[in-house]
Amino acid sequence: MTVTHIPPLPVRDKSAGRALSPMLTRLAEERATGVLVREHGTLHLADGRVVHAESPLAPGLDVLLTAHGTLAAAAWQQAAARTAGPPQAAELLLESGLLPTGALELCHLDALYDAGYFALAPSSAPGRFRYDNAPRPGPLPSVPVVALERETLRRRLLLHRLWPDPAIDSAPLIRADPVPAAPVTPRQRAVLDRVDGVRTATGIARDLGRQAFHTLVDARRLAAAGHLAPVPPAALDPAPAYPALACPPPVTDPDIALLKRLRDALEAL
C-alpha cells in the first residue's frame, strides 16, 4: 500500500492580526467618540477614528510647528490661550491665515502617528475610556484605528531590525565611540551631539523639535554602529541603604551564610 505524505495544516501566526489594544478595536467597531487614556499616551476618538494623540514621550503638535520656523512660538501661545487644546489652537491659526493648510495637516498626522506609537506600547495597567459625544470641531484629518495599529507594528519591527536592544529607547544615553569610527549623517550627528549621559532619545527629540520615533531610529542606528549605548542599569540604581564605607548588614539566613563560607573558601585556594 502506498502511503501518501500529507502536508501539515497551515498554522495561523497567533501574533498576526492581533489587536494592540482590544479595547481600542471594540471602540472603533462601535464608532465611539471620546478619550482613551493608556499608560504611555492618550488617543482621542471621533466616530471610532483617531483624531488626535498625545504622549509625554513624543513632542506635541506645537513643537513640530514652531521648532523649525513653520509658525512663530508667540502665535501658537496666543492661540493656545484662547482654545481648549492643541487641535483647536491649530485650527484657529488656520482660520486666521497664519498657518497653511498643508503644513498643518502634515504636522498633525506626524504628531498623531508619533504619539500613537507610544500610546499603543505594551502597558502594565488597563486603559480607561471616557465617552464624549460632543462633535469633533474643525477640518483636521482623522486616522482609522487599523491604520494606526498597522503603522505601530511596522515601526516596532523596523526598530528591532535596526538594533534589538529596546533599552536604547528609554534609558539615558552615553557616547561609545567605535574603533574605527563609523561615519554618521548630519541628522545622526545632531542626535549624537546631545548625548550626555542624562538625556534619553525622546528627550533629544524634544530638544531637536523632531518626531520621537524618527529619533529612536537614529539612536538605534548609532547604537548598531557603536557610537552610543544606554547607561548601564547599575549606574541608575539608588544608593545602598547603608554607607559605602560601613559594613553591610549581617547575614542571618543559614543557607546564605553557608554559601558565603563556601565561596570564601574557594577564593582562598
Q: Please check whether residue 187 lies inside any domain of the structure.
A: yes
What average pLDDT does this structure show over 87-98?
A: 88
**Is residue 108 located within the same domain as residue 190?**
no
**Has residue 249 been placed in a domain?**
no
Task: Give 239 or 111, the one with higher predicted confidence.
Answer: 111
User: Within this chain, do residues 85 and 187 fall inside the same structural domain, yes or no?
Assistant: no
Side chain identity, residue 211:
Q
Q: Give the pLDDT confidence of 147-197 residue by residue, as tens digits.
A: 999 999 999 999 999 999 999 999 999 998 777 767 899 999 999 999 999
| Residue 269 is assigned to a structural domain of this protein | no
Place of cell 484605528: 145
- Spatial neighbors of 132 by CB under 8 A, at least 6 apart, are 33, 34, 35
Instruction: Identify whether 134 is part of a domain.
Output: yes
Domain count, the chain: 2
CA distance 163 to 174: 16
Q: Is residue 263 included in any domain, yes or no?
A: no
pTM over 0.95: no
The answer to whether residue 7 is domain-embedded is no
Indicate whether 141 and 58 sit together in one domain.
Answer: yes
pLDDT in the model for residue 261? 59
Query: Given 160, 180, 195, which residue is the final one in a domain?
Result: 160
Of 138, 160, 182, the domain-final residue: 160
**Whether residue 152 is found in the same domain as residue 169:** no
User: pLDDT digits over 12-21, tens only?
Assistant: 334 444 678 9
For residues 124 and 181, membership in a common domain is answered with: no
Look at residue 221 and tell me if it is in a domain.
yes
- List the domain range (segments joined by +) for residue 198: 164-233
Q: pLDDT tens digits for 36-61?
A: 999 999 999 999 999 999 999 999 99
Q: Pick from 180, 179, 207: which is nearest to 192 by CA?
A: 207
Same domain, 168 and 68: no
Of 160, 184, 201, which marks where a domain is finished?
A: 160
Give residue 260's pLDDT band: very low, low, confident or very high (50, 70, 90).
low
Q: Looking at the domain assignment, is residue 180 inside a domain?
A: yes
* Cis-peptide into 180, omega within 30 deg: yes
% of the chain with per-residue pLDDT over 70: 78
Joined together, the cell numbers standing for residue 18 give 492581533
- What pLDDT is stored for residue 266 in this prediction? 53
Do residues 223 and 142 both lie within one domain?
Answer: no
Is there a single domain that holds both residue 39 and residue 143?
A: yes
Same domain for 156 and 29:
yes
Give yes or no: residues 108 and 175 share one domain: no
113 and 187 housed in the same domain: no
Residues 155 and 179 in one domain: no
